[in-house]
Every structure is written in C-alpha cells, then in structure tokens.
A = this chain, B = another copy of it.
Amino acid sequence: MTRPSNDSVLRALLRQPTRHTPIWLMRQAGRYLPEYCETRRRAGSFLQLCKSPALACEVALQPLARFDLDAAILFSDILTVPDAMGLGLYFSDGEGPRFERPLREEWAIRDLAAPDPWDHLRYVIDAVAEIRRALNNSVPLIGFAGSPYTLACYMVEGAASSDYRHIKRMLYDRPDLLHRILSVTADAVGAYLNAQIEAGAQAVMIFDSWGGSLSAAAYQEFSLPYMARIVAGLLRHRDGERVPSIVFTKGGGLWLESMAAIGCDALAVDWTIDLGEARRRVGHRVALQGNLDPAILFASPERIAAEATRVLDSYGSDNTGHVFNLGHGISQFTPPESVAALVEAVHAHGCATPRDDHQVPAPG
C-alpha cells in the first residue's frame, strides 16, 4: 500500500471529492521557520542544504511537525537543473542565485545537453526517497521543477533580472537559439520529474515563475508548449496510483483556458484572479490550486481566517477539485503563528458541505 492515509491533496488534484479542502503552501519549508534557519546554519549554505538528502529531508518535514498540512513538498531549488547542465550555480550573499557561465554564446547553446538526473541530480532523487520514507505514508510528497522558460530566464540572464533584456533580445532576435535552449531544458526537466516520480514523488508541479513577463503571443510560443511537452512525457502512474501534475504560471490569469488544455491535472493560480471566475473559465478540465495573497499572512489571525474563508467561498460550495494554497511562495517575514491560523481556518471552514460546518469536527 502506497496510498497515504491522508490522500486529500491527491484526490482534490484529480477532482475527486474530499471531506475538507486540503491545504499546503508553496515554500512551506523555508526561512520564516526558526528551525529551518537553524538547519540551514548547520548545513553551511543554502546549496549545501539542497545537496544533503538528510538535511533536505529534515527541513521538508519541519512545517508538517508544526502545522496540520495535507502535503509535503520536496525541498530543493529550481536551479539545480541548469546547475547539472554545467552553468555553475552559486549564491552570492543578499543577491540571490547566479550562474558562473550565463548562456549567451551560440556555441554554448549548441553544446547544451540534458543531463541524466540519476547521474547529475542524484542528491535530489535521494532526497525524494528519504522524505518519502520519513513521511511514512502520512501525506503525499509533491515533487517539482522550474518551467523551461523560467529556467532559461536565469540561464540567459545569469541571475534574477528586473527587465530580462538578454533573454528577451534572444527571444525576438534569435528565436532559434532560445527554442534550442527550451527544447533541451524541457527534456532535462521531463527526465528530472520522472526520476522524482520513480523515487517516490506522488504528484509533481511545474513552476513557471517568469512566464507572466511574456506577451500573450510569446507565452504561447516560448513557455506553454514546452510545459505541454513535459506534461505529455510524465509517468502517469506509479505503484498503481495516478500521479497528478500541477502547472503554475505566475501572472498567467489571462491565459487559463490554454493552460487548462495542455493535459495537466491542475492549475495553480495567483491571487490576482477571483477563484470562482477561474473555475468558470476552466470548467471541469482541471483542478485549481490557490490562491490567497501571501501578504495576508502579515495580518491578524481573525483577518487571515476571514480572507481564507473568502477564497474558499469564491471557489464555491462544492469544494471538489480545490487545493488551498497561497498565490505565491510564503514570505520569509511571515510569522509562523499566521500559518497556524490559516491552516486551522481552512480545515474548519473548507468542508464539502459548508452549511454544516458546526456539525463537522475540525481536524487538528
């Protein structure tokens, strides 16, 4: 038996009924938790933390020890893939991730190859296996990767950027080169996610953090088709269980219909769209994950509960196909008590029959 005892996230992602609306939080293992900061200090650096399966497992479980969350997520970084492709990832203090060798020369782009994850990303696969063992079938483990376009942003710019002008110049002037990067990266991400599934990930999510910086036409040419290709190549089952896939383009609210058509099981949406409107637009094609403004976690517990209720209500009285989450990763400045208040509110209010709340014992 590999089905977790709490399978509500998997059920919701597959649009099967759940007793309550399940919740997990993007970046739930992170700097807002003092125990995370302590483990990271012991690791020496963020990258060493990612590269130690034992420590990655430790931090992945930390939020579950504190909060009644319905899923764990692999602790890693989206940039491990380009690092394995030879770009030389490093983190400079206060400046975020950087690559030693940004990808701008035609010869380097022609030489780019998809790494075998079992060779070059073994530490991630080992972390997946270790977290999965430690979870002991309590809640499912979600694997993840960055989208090809989002990874290409970092690979071409060499760092986070406010205007993406190098990749945009390539996109408009040398689309052939960008398509080459995206194609190789899509192969790399597809193999990487399948390795995570083989190691025990029970659902996978593709993070397209920067796809929303594209024009409508460019998104349809440079981001969405590469996510579609990855989704089409994913292992659909593992140990007889369906492995659902989630696609998230931050700022992609205008493009939901086309995103819902690429074959994924669920779309994650940010807070700029009303969840009920998103549901009407995607119909029954996909489940929806989201979409609380993470900034609400700076407010009082009462207000957090009220806003969580508003999100649940906007999804509708039938909660089938809704996984509660934030619309973006949790801020490092979030008080942990706010997360406790949120999880409690979602479990108390997010029942299949909201009008009978008082008759349903709230979990946790």
Contacts and interface: CB of A to CB of B under 8 A. Distances in A.
Interface of A: 163-165, 168-169, 171-173, 212, 214-219, 251, 253-254, 271-274, 277, 293, 295-296, 298-300, 303, 307, 310, 327, 331, 333
A323 B197 CA distance: 50
Contacts of A296: 168, 172
B251 A272 contact: yes
A310 B218 CA distance: 12
Contacts of A251: 251, 272
A307 B175 CA distance: 13
Contact of A164 (B214, B215, B254, B295): B295
Number of copies of chain A assembled together: 2
A96 to B, nearest CB: 11
9 contacts: A165-B331, A168-B299, A172-B295, A172-B298, A216-B277, A217-B274, A217-B310, A251-B272, A254-B272
B333 A172 contact: no
Contacts of A164: 295
Contacts of A274: 216-217
B163 A331 contact: yes
A27 to B, nearest CB: 13
A270 to B, nearest CB: 9
Nearest to A219: B272
A276 to B, nearest CB: 10
Given A251-B272, A254-B253, A168 B216 contact: no
A37 to B, nearest CB: 19
A94 B172 CA distance: 29
A272 B214 contact: yes
Most buried by B among A173, A214, A277: A173
A327 B213 CA distance: 11
Given A173-B303, A274-B216, A300-B173, A168 B295 contact: yes
A278 to B, nearest CB: 10
Contact of A293 (B218, B295, B307, B331): B218
Contacts of A169: 295, 298-299
Contacts of A218: 293
Nearest to A328: B163
